[in-house]
Amino acid sequence: MSALALLIGIIPVIGWGFFPTVSSKIGGKPANQILGATIGALIVAFVVFLVTGCGFPMGWNLVFGILSGCGWGFGQIMAFKGYTLIGSSRVMPITTAFQLIVTALWGAFALSSWPGAMNKVIGMIALVVIIIGATLTTWNENKENTNVAALRKAVIYQLIGVIGYWLYSAAPQLENLKWAEGFIPRTAPMSGLQAFLPQTIGMVLVAVIYCLTQVNKENVFKEATSYKQIIAGFFFGVAALAYLVAAQPVEKGGLGLSTAFVVSQVSVVIATLTGIYMLGQKKTHKEMVATLIGLALIIVAAAVTAFLN
């Protein structure tokens, strides 16, 4: 593992860690946030496409790439809705936990990435630990100050949104589903860089459709806040690009998929802490201790699931 690969692997931690905080700091409604964020990511992807000459996928690869981006767009809209209810510092651990659980289960049972009964048992225990960790991050010492209805609604949004995040991860892997060879088209292997631009096209597509459904209430296409959110999109886009590079095999100068994945999950710590200290989403001393323990449990359990392959 080279020092350069590790430095590249840290970029997603910073980019994805600051993304929800920057977006919340800029402000606006979920429609403003998703429109600007996806445009920013698209700009990054287009620049990468021009600079690297990585090629633009066609056929089913293009379809799968766009579907992947559509999934992320849907999931992120649900996350933005959660931010407005209970703040990014509480939503990020929840949505990260749900993503880890669904992605791990998909890999284990659809892609057979947890071979053997023992690995499956360890993996299931790790998922329970992730749930415990996420629960700790939402604990409130003063029950009378807890908006239970808002918390419940935010959690429901994240449960719905995780379907989109699952599609974001699963769509580029559909060719690996050996049990589905009869009804899922076979495609040529597609690199992460090749998938990047179609993914961002899918993200923008979902964002535009969502904003159009809201246009009778508010026309966010005419609001400056929407375009200020492009800055937040740059954070996401650069982080996604760095993750694709860092996930390359060690022999090709990367960290490998498992290591890059675990390193990237540290972003939940930055997202949570910056939300608390930069956005004023305050917690008591006991709540901070519970939050830090919960974050540690999420990261350790994520590491366990990533290395069960």
Q: What is the mean pLDDT of residues 291-304?
A: 92
Question: Which residue intervals of 87-184 are DSSP H helices?
Answer: 88-109, 117-137, 148-170
Is the predicted pLDDT of residue 251 greater than 80, yes or no?
no
Instruction: Indicate the pTM of the whole model.
Output: 0.89
Question: Which residue intervals of 27-87 are DSSP H helices?
Answer: 30-52, 59-86
Write out the two tokens for 258: 């498992």
Is the predicted pLDDT of residue 250 greater than 90, yes or no?
no
What pLDDT is attached to residue 67? 94
What pLDDT is attached to residue 178? 61
What pLDDT is attached to residue 186? 65
Report the range of poorest mean pLDDT among 34-43, 66-75, 79-88, 260-269.
260-269
**Phi and psi torsions of 13, nearest 5°:** -60, -45
Q: What is the mean pLDDT of residues 114-118?
A: 85
The mean pLDDT value of the chain amounts to: 88
pLDDT band at 37 (very low <50, low <70, confident <90, very high): very high
Report the range of poorest mean pLDDT among 50-54, 83-87, 172-176.
172-176
Report the range of poorest mean pLDDT among 66-70, 113-117, 158-162.
113-117
Write out the two tokens for 94: 């929840």
**Cα separation of 243 and 192, whole Å?**
9
Write out the two tokens for 282: 């305050």
Q: Decide: 162 and 75 in contact? Cβ < 8 Å.
A: yes
Report the range of poorest mean pLDDT among 86-95, 212-221, 248-257.
248-257
Beta strands in the chain, from DSSP E residues, in sequence order: none
Q: What is the mean pLDDT of residues 287-306?
A: 91
Instruction: List, for residues 146-174, the tens digit of each pLDDT value.
Output: 688 999 999 999 999 999 999 988 887 66
More confident position, 177 or 206: 206
Q: What is the mean pLDDT of residues 115-126?
A: 89
What pLDDT is attached to residue 69? 95
pLDDT band at 59 (very low <50, low <70, confident <90, very high): confident
More confident position, 240 or 146: 240
**Residue for token digits 């589903």?**
177
Q: What is the mean pLDDT of residues 107-131?
A: 85
Q: What is the mean pLDDT of residues 180-199?
A: 76
What pLDDT is attached to residue 309? 64
